[in-house]
Amino acid sequence: MKDKRVFKINKYNTAVFLILLIIIYSIVSNSRSIKNQEKQFLDLYHNEMQVKTDLIAESVLFSLQGNIAEINNWDKFLAIISREDSIDDSSWVYVAYEGVVLYYKNHDLIKANRTISLDKFVVQLQENSIITTQSSFSYDNGTFTIGLTASKNMVLMDWGYSTFNMVLLLQIIVATLLLALIGIDFIRKSMMASMEVVRLEKEVVSLNRKVEEINQELDRITLEKESKGLSQINQAIQYDMELVRVLLMKTNATTYLPVTIIYVRFDMGNLYFTKKRMSEIEEQLRVQLVHNYELFEVGKGEFIFLLIRTEIGDFMKSLVIVEERAENIAKENGIKATVKCRTITNVIEDPLMELEKIRERI
């Protein structure tokens, strides 16, 4: 049954892992595809801008050469540039002369005292995700540079794509991934919980049957003693030894193994302890352990902790706790305490011998 459960868990883990790989592959594939399309579009747009820049530069040069008499100052030159700049709203014209930018976005940088070197200007444009192209020509013993600029983000938005849309798409994919993983994990845990409930129900039924058998056995013992006319139960029965023997016989099955016996003995020497005082000591021994247990008094100053289905880590922790409590009780009462432990891991022919062995070793 455990192997089948592990196999099913592995199947669900494999399914989650495969779905995760598919979604990651889809994200990477789509991202690469979008980036490739973006690059192709920007390259095409840049080429078109370069062609447009060359045409503007030729148009400006033509106007200068054809109207030499009329163009005798900077304001008239700017009028020609402004006419070209107003043709297209998606881009802006800049003009540089001898490596210094004099005009940008319908602003005369000379009048504003904001002229800047062409190289520095281009670097600033690139740092701000601005697409730029330029074309130069010589005129009147100087070199003019005509350039066009366009916002990369605006260009992509006009194309139907933006960084925001990509981020949103990735967020949706990640959210879908998380929801899918949560859903699969919830289904897996629900199925595991259902299987565990069924297993526990069967185990409870089995334990109830065992308890019923033990009760019947105790009733039988009592009836036998009464039928013999005994006025009181002998010392062994009085100290729960018979009950411990019955429990050890009934739990000598794979279902209940390992079974751990923790034996505690208080050596009282010449001191006398009443039955009431011993009952108080027994109550003091009832500590909170890692594992559920039953505590029995099997003789004068002798106690048995019986733990069913214990793991090594559990009974070792329990043993340490019992030893500490027994030592404290012994110290308070001026007596000596001895604690021994034995674990039955396999079905054996006579489990009662394990109890006798642990008592003999004291």
pLDDT digits (tens, 9 = 90+) for 201-227: 777 677 667 666 666 665 666 566 555
Burial of 73 (0-12, 13-18, 19+ CB in 10 A): exposed
According to the model, what pLDDT value does residue 234 have?
44
pLDDT digits (tens, 9 = 90+) for 238-284: 577 878 888 888 777 777 788 888 899 999 888 888 888 888 888 88
Amino acid at 292: N
> Of 79, 114, 78, 71, which is closest to residue 95 (Cα–Cα)?
78
Look at residue 5 and tell me whether its pLDDT is greater than 70: no
According to the model, what pLDDT value does residue 42 have?
83
Of 28-37, 148-157, 294-303, 347-356, the least confident: 28-37
pLDDT (average), residues 129-146 = 85
Look at residue 236 and tell me whether its pLDDT is greater than 60: no
Q: For the chain, what is the mean pLDDT?
A: 76
Q: Higher model confidence: residue 84 or residue 300?
A: 300
pLDDT digits (tens, 9 = 90+) for 92-122: 888 888 888 888 876 767 766 777 888 888 8
According to the model, what pLDDT value does residue 69 have?
46
Look at residue 196 and tell me whether its pLDDT is greater than 50: yes
Local confidence band at 177 (pLDDT 50, 70, 90 cut-offs): confident
pLDDT (average), residues 287-316 = 82
According to the model, what pLDDT value does residue 13 have?
63
pLDDT (average), residues 186-200 = 78
Look at residue 184 and tell me whether its pLDDT is greater than 90: no
Look at residue 45 and tell me whether its pLDDT is greater than 70: yes
> Of 144, 132, 70, which is closest to residue 103 (Cα–Cα)?
144
What's the rounded Cα separation, in Å, for the pair 231 and 136? 126
Look at residue 327 and tell me whether its pLDDT is greater than 90: yes
pTM of this prediction exceeds 0.75: no
- Range of 35-39, 85-89, 149-153 with top mean pLDDT: 149-153
According to the model, what pLDDT value does residue 2 have?
46
Look at residue 88 and tell me whether its pLDDT is greater than 70: no
Q: Taken in order 79, 80, 81, 87, is the CA torsion positive or negative?
A: positive
Long-range pairs of 95-101 with CB within 8 A, sequence gap ≥ 24: 95/144, 95/145, 95/146, 95/147, 96/121, 96/134, 96/144, 96/145, 96/147, 97/142, 97/143, 97/144, 97/145, 98/142, 98/143, 99/143, 99/145
Q: Higher model confidence: residue 115 or residue 2?
A: 115
Q: Higher model confidence: residue 79 or residue 121?
A: 121
Domains of the chain: 2-161 (3.30.450), 235-360 (3.30.70.270)
Q: Higher model confidence: residue 36 or residue 76?
A: 36
